[in-house]
Amino acid sequence: MAYALGPGSPFEEIVRRHGRILLMGVGHNRSSMLHHSESKIANHRRKTRQFPVRGDGQISWVEVPDVGDDNDTFFPTVGAEFERRDLSVRSGFVGEANAVLFDADAYDRFAQRRLSELLQNGGG
C-alpha cells in the first residue's frame, strides 16, 4: 500500500541508508518515523486522507488510504522503551531543548515489533 510515510517514502531511504533520527524539543509522539514503521506491519491502524489535486484549471479532492493517527496512544511508550534498550541512543541538550539522537534502522525494527504487539493486544 502506498502511504505517504510508508514503503517507498523518504523514510524508507533513511532506514536503508542507516541514517539517524534527531528529536529536538519534541517527544516520540511527534516522530513521523513511527508512522513509517507502523505502516509496514500487518495490523496497523488505517484512515483516509483527502488531498487537493489541481488539473485543467480546477481543484478536485482525492481520497487515499493512509496509516492512522496515534494520538499519544502508543508512540510515547514505544519511544521510551527504545531509549532504555538501544545503545545507539544519545541524549542531551541543545540550548534549552532536550535532544535525542539514534539510529533509524534500529528504531524502525524495534517500533515494528513493539507496535505489532501493542496493537494486537488491545490497540486501535
Per-residue pLDDT reduced to its tens digit, 12-52: 999 999 999 999 999 999 999 999 999 999 999 999 989 89
Residue 102 lies in a domain: yes
d(CA 5, CA 7): 7
22 phi and psi, to 5 degrees? -120, 115
Number of domains, the chain: 1
* Spatial contact of 28 and 102, defined as CB atoms under 8 Å apart: no
Beta partners for 103? 20
* 124, pLDDT greater than 80: no
Average pLDDT in the 56-65 region?
A: 93
C-alpha cell at 79: 519511544
> Model confidence over 67-89: pLDDT tens digits?
999 999 999 999 999 999 999 99
- Under the banding of pLDDT at 50, 70 and 90, the label for residue 1 is low
> Model confidence over 2-12: pLDDT tens digits?
688 888 899 99
pTM value surpassing 0.85: yes
Helix (H, G, I), strand (E, B) or coil at 88: coil
Residue 3 confidence (pLDDT)? 81
Residue 74 lies in a domain: yes
User: What are the E-state strand segments in the chain?
Assistant: 20-24, 46-55, 58-67, 90-94, 97-103
Residue 65 lies in a domain: yes
Residue 3 lies in a domain: no
d(CA 115, CA 123): 9
Range of the domain at 82: 10-120
Residue 34 lies in a domain: yes
Residue 4 lies in a domain: no
Residue 20 lies in a domain: yes
Choose among 93, 90, 92: nearest CA to 102: 90
Residue 72 lies in a domain: yes
Average pLDDT in the 78-102 region?
A: 97
